[in-house]
């Protein structure tokens, strides 16, 4: 009976794993099934999203959502993150076939690994036990390492995979050490138990465990000072994979960090708050300053993602329901902006059909590809948080939550630093609109790319404000579910 | 009485084979001594009632790890004279590490003697009595409470395998050396693959 209810709660994960296994068989039996497997994987992810949606709409929370004796929670918070993850994975599947067509057809392992990575992330965001957390994280990371070096013939891709693997393994080690300390000093691996055991004074061992766990997670969300791998990996990995890295795993790791901080370490808010505040400010500043000198668009966007993680962490630092809700709204907007800008980079091809990534190559893009330049400009303004665009809303809610939680200084420094960030976003627009045309980017783009770019651009345009009610409502429900135990 | 005897026998053999693992000149002999050490350690585990760990030691360490070592040692041409050449130079470092380990041992035993650690008592009498074997208990936990994590870990292994193949496997074109035609392999029947010969005594076989 208990097993049945548990299985019903993990239905989306079961769908994903069965789909992954079935697609592996299809890939093994038929040659050149890459395109078919990609479509089927996207369908499976869509099906999983549909299965997840009811929990979000009904605002599921509490003991009814716990599966397997409290190791897994299928509540509204997890559902919110899962839908973001699945949707961005579908988008990354849609843009992939055209990209890989240049070096022969897309290999079927790409969609299969994407599917398993999405499964790992779904487990991560639902984790209410340190062991579930680690299993989900490793499943996601392992698939991600392979995806980063998926272009075997490309040295940069191999380098990206190796760097990601070595540093990721180190971070996993740090995380595991933290988990073992927490386990040793609280006597349990469940978040609930850890929360109860930490309700009194924080012992030295617990404090060390907390710091190590947060450090390991900070690596996964690429927050400063654990961000060094991001530019290299984002630059070297194939662009569809970079799009994936900048969206889904970020959502998963941020959601996981929020759950660990507010659930497992929820009674010790003062202990982790200063760490989160430091990581938030450092990420905003380093992300903004680091991007200034970049001449490669993917590296630039990598620094931009570090910068954005800082803003997301401000919502977490607030530690209130409003803060979590703001964080989720920002995450949703950030995912749309990242998808849009990376897909726009993916559409930059020269006359030979090769990918173009240099900032100098898009000079005068407005005269050769006016529509693409317009979409990219909307993305850049939105990332900079310039008011009529939707990106501003995300920053606004996050800062509002911080001010309400008496973190005025944090909000003020964040706003000041976002002005620095605006410099390089606007520089990209300036290069596209006011520089002499370089004439490098020509060629046509796939309909799937246009579809994703069009949808994200429309969402980021002032039209996006129509979404604020719906998005805010869903995020509020998710935040409530996360803070239910409190 | 018999337990004490068995303990000293196993313990002596573990120590002795450990020493010979280091002292043996031939690396293959070293690995064989190591296997003997594993076997005797498994015997010690059985004495304290940890039959599952004993089985793991034999199956995993002897069956897989040690055989892997053996293969590696046989395949790599290791020049042990060269490895030993740095002995004098690295001697102080080795001594330092040994001292650190010794200090840790003394600290650990001291803490245990002072009652700061609860590890049960040496004769095992304080260990919780269970009506079932370790194996059964482990099984119920792995396939009961932690079923979800266990299956998810299985998927991690699958992803690792798919990843390793995706990154390294290069399909060979038809006709090239090493090309594998699975259908052809499966269709093959014993009649095509083997031939019965009746060699006359003293004449040998013509192939």
Q: Give the separation between CA A49 and CA A40, rounded to whole angstroms.
A: 14
Helix A109-126 to helix A239-259 angle (10° resolution) is 10
pLDDT tens string B125-164: 545 556 677 788 888 888 988 999 999 999 999 999 999 9
Nearest to A142 among B146, B147, B156 (CB): B156
Cβ–Cβ contact B166 with A under 8 A:
yes
Q: Which of A162, A148, A80, A92 is nearest to A331 (CA)?
A: A80
The minimum CA-CA distance between A135 and chain B, rounded to whole Å, is 7
Chain B CB contacts of A72 under 8 Å are 148
Q: What dihedral do alpha carbons A227, A233, A235, A241 form, nearest 10°?
A: -120
Tokens 């929990």 sit at which residue? A55
Task: Name the band, by pLDDT with cuts 50, 70 and 90, for residue B190.
Answer: confident
Tokens 């392979």 sit at which residue? A146
Q: Which residue has the higher pLDDT, A442 or A7?
A: A7
Chain A CB contacts of B166 under 8 Å are 107, 109, 113, 146, 150
Q: Give the separation between CA A7 and CA B163, rounded to whole angstroms.
A: 28
What is the interface pTM, i.e. ipTM, of the complex?
Answer: 0.91
Is the overall model pTM greater than 0.95, yes or no? no
List Cα–Cα distances, A197 to A68, A261, B69, B134, B140, in angstroms. Answer: 21, 14, 44, 29, 27
- Can you say how many angstroms the Cα of residue B44 is from the centroid of all Cα atoms in its chain? 17
Interfacial A residues in 109-128 facing B (CB < 8 Å)? 109, 112-113, 116, 119, 123
Q: Which residue has the higher pLDDT, A56 or A20?
A: A20
Cβ–Cβ contact A149 with B under 8 A:
yes
List Cα–Cα distances, A25 to A22, A30, A37, A112, in angstroms. Answer: 5, 9, 10, 10
Tokens (6 digits) for A480: 């409530």
Alpha helices by DSSP H, A149-225: 155-186, 191-197, 204-220
Angle (CA) A132-A135-A141 rounded to 5° is 135
Q: Give the separation between CA A334 and CA A84, rounded to whole angstroms.
A: 10
Residues belonging to chain B: 207
Residues belonging to chain A: 486
- Residue-range domain boundaries for chain B: 1-78, 79-117, 131-167
Q: What does DSSP assign to residue B199? A: P
pLDDT of residue A283: 92
Q: Give the separation between CA B113 and CA B107, rounded to whole angstroms.
A: 10
The minimum CA-CA distance between B84 and chain A, rounded to whole Å, is 31
Tally C-beta pairs within 8 A across A and B: 65
Chain A CB contacts of B181 under 8 Å are none
Of A73-87, A280-294, B129-143, minimum mean pLDDT range: B129-143
Asked whether A251 and A88 are in contact (CB, 8 A), the reply is yes
Task: Name the band, by pLDDT with cuts 50, 70 and 90, for residue A241.
Answer: very high
Q: Which of A229, A81, A253 is nearest to A162 (CA)?
A: A229
Nearest chain B residue to A108 by CA distance is B166
- Can you say how many angstroms the Cα of residue B99 is from the centroid of all Cα atoms in its chain? 28
pLDDT tens string A452-482: 888 988 888 888 888 888 888 899 898 888 8
pLDDT of residue B116: 60
Tokens (6 digits) for B24: 């043996």
Q: Which residues pair with A104 in a beta bridge?
A: A102
Burial of B2 (0-12, 13-18, 19+ CB in 10 A): exposed
Chain A CB contacts of B167 under 8 Å are 146, 149, 152, 161
Asked whether A157 and A149 are in contact (CB, 8 A), the reply is yes
Q: What does DSSP assign to residue A199? A: S
pLDDT of residue B132: 75
Nearest chain B residue to A154 by CA distance is B167
C-alpha gyration radius of chain A: 21
Interfacial B residues in 136-165 facing A (CB < 8 Å)? 145-149, 152-153, 155-156, 158-160, 162-163, 165
- Burial readout A467-486 (b: 16 or more C-beta within 10 A, e: otherwise): beeebbebbbbbbbbbbbee
pLDDT of residue B119: 52
Handedness of CA B20, B23, B26, B28 (dihedral sign): positive
Q: Which of B156, B190, B181 is nearest to A146 (CA)?
A: B156
Asked whether A191 and A259 are in contact (CB, 8 A), the reply is yes
Angle (CA) A76-A147-A252 rounded to 5° is 20
Helix A109-126 to helix A34-57 angle (10° resolution) is 20
Residue B206: is its pLDDT beyond 80? no
What's the whole-number average pLDDT of chain B? 83
Residue A102: is its pLDDT beyond 90? no
Alpha helices by DSSP H, A58-203: 76-100, 109-126, 130-148, 155-186, 191-197
Tokens 């783009």 sit at which residue? A445
pLDDT tens string A126-179: 999 999 999 999 999 999 999 999 888 888 899 999 999 999 999 999 999 999
pLDDT tens string A358-368: 888 888 888 88
pLDDT tens string A360-406: 888 888 888 888 899 999 999 999 888 888 889 999 999 999 999 88
Asked whether A152 and A158 are in contact (CB, 8 A), the reply is yes
pLDDT above 90 covers what percent of chain B?
Answer: 28
Chain B CB contacts of A113 under 8 Å are 159, 162-163, 166
pLDDT of residue B118: 58
pLDDT above 90 covers what percent of chain A?
Answer: 48
Q: Could B163 and A142 be called an inter-chain contact, meaning their C-beta atoms sit closer than 8 Å? A: yes
Q: Give the separation between CA B118 and CA A104, rounded to whole angstroms.
A: 62
Q: Which residues pair with A395 in a beta bridge?
A: none
Q: Could B167 and A67 be called an inter-chain contact, meaning their C-beta atoms sit closer than 8 Å? A: no
Burial of A438 (0-12, 13-18, 19+ CB in 10 A): middle
Chain B CB contacts of A116 under 8 Å are 155, 158-159, 162
Q: Which residue has the higher pLDDT, B181 or A316?
A: A316
Cβ–Cβ contact A138 with B under 8 A:
yes
C-alpha gyration radius of chain B: 26
List Cα–Cα distances, A373 to A247, A305, A423, A431, A438, in angstroms. Answer: 22, 21, 18, 10, 13
Cβ–Cβ contact A413 with B under 8 A:
no
- Please count the CA atoms within 13 angstroms of the CA of B59 that sit on its side-chain side: 6
Instruction: Pick one of 1.10.260.30, 1.20.120.1200, 3.40.50.11900, 3.30.413.10 as the CATH number of B1-78.
Output: 1.20.120.1200
Q: Could B166 and A113 be called an inter-chain contact, meaning their C-beta atoms sit closer than 8 Å? A: yes
List Cα–Cα distances, A306 to A241, A292, B108, in angstroms. Answer: 17, 13, 44
């Amino acid at each position: 009976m208990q097993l049945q209810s548990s299985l019903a709660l993990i239905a989306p994960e079961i769908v994903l794993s069965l789909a992954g296994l079935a697609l592996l068989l299809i890939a093994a039996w038929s040659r050149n099934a890459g395109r078919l497997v990609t479509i089927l994987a996207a369908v499976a992810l869509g099906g999983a999203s549909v299965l997840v949606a009811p929990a979000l709409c009904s605002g599921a929370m509490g003991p009814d959502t716990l599966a397997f004796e409290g190791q897994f929670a299928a509540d509204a918070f997890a559902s919110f993150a899962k839908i973001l993850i699945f949707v961005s994975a579908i988008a990354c599947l849609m843009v992939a076939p055209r990209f890989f067509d240049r070096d022969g057809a897309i290999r079927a392992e790409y969609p299969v690994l994407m599917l398993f990575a999405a499964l790992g992330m779904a487990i991560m965001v639902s984790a209410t036990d340190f062991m579930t957390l680690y299993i989900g994280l490793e499943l996601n990371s392992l698939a991600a390492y392979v995806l980063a070096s998926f272009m075997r013939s490309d040295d940069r891709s191999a380098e990206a995979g190796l760097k990601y693997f070595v540093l990721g393994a180190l971070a996993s080690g740090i995380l595991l050490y933290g988990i073992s300390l927490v386990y040793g000093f609280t006597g349990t691996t469940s978040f609930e138990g850890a929360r109860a055991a930490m309700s009194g004074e924080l012992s030295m061992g617990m404090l060390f465990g907390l710091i190590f766990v947060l450090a390991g997670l900070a690596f996964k969300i690429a927050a400063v000072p654990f961000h060094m791998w991001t530019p290299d990996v984002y630059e070297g990995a194939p662009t569809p994979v970079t799009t994936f890295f900048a969206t889904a795993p970020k959502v998963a790791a941020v959601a996981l960090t929020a759950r660990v901080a507010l659930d497992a370490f929820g009674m010790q808010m003062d202990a982790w708050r200063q760490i989160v505040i430091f990581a938030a400010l450092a990420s905003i500043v380093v992300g903004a300053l680091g991007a200034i000198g970049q001449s490669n668009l993917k590296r630039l966007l990598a620094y931009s993602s570090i910068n954005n993680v800082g803003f997301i962490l401000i919502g977490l630092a607030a530690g209130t329901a409003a803060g979590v809700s703001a964080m989720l709204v920002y995450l949703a907007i950030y995912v749309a902006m990242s998808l849009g800008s990376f897909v726009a980079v993916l559409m930059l091809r020269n006359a030979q059909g090769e990918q173009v990534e240099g900032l100098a190559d898009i000079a005068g893009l407005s005269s050769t590809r006016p529509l693409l330049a317009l979409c990219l400009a909307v993305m850049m303004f939105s990332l900079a948080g310039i008011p009529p665009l939707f990106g501003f809303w995300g920053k606004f809610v996050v800062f509002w939550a911080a001010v309400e939680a008496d973190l005025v200084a944090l909000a003020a420094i964040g706003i000041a630093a976002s002005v620095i960030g605006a410099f390089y976003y606007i520089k990209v627009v300036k290069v596209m609109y006011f520089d002499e045309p370089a004439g490098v980017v020509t060629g046509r783009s796939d309909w799937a790319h246009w579809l994703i770019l069009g949808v994200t651009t429309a969402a980021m345009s002032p039209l996006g404000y129509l979404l604020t009610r719906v998005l805010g409502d869903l995020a509020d429900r998710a935040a409530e579910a996360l803070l239910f135990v409190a | 009485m018999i337990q004490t005897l068995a303990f000293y026998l196993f313990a002596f053999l573990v120590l002795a084979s450990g020493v010979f693992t280091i002292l043996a000149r031939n690396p293959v002999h070293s690995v064989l001594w190591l296997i003997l050490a594993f076997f005797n350690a498994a015997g010690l585990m059985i004495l304290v009632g940890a039959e599952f760990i004993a089985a793991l030691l034999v199956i995993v360490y002897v069956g897989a790890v040690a055989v892997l070592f053996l293969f590696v040692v046989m395949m790599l041409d290791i020049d042990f004279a060269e490895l030993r050449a740095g002995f004098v130079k690295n001697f102080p470092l080795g001594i330092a590490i040994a001292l650190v380990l010794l200090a840790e041992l003394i600290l650990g035993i001291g803490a245990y003697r002072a009652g700061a650690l609860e590890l049960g008592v040496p004769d095992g009498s304080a260990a919780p009595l269970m009506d079932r074997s370790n194996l059964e208990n482990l099984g119920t936990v792995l396939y009961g409470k932690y079923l979800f994590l266990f299956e998810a870990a299985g998927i991690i292994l699958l992803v690792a395998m798919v990843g390793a193949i995706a990154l390294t496997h290069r399909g060979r074109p038809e006709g090239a050396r090493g090309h594998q035609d699975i259908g052809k392999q499966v269709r093959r029947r014993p009649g095509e693959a083997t031939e019965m010969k009746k060699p006359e005594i003293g004449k040998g076989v013509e192939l």
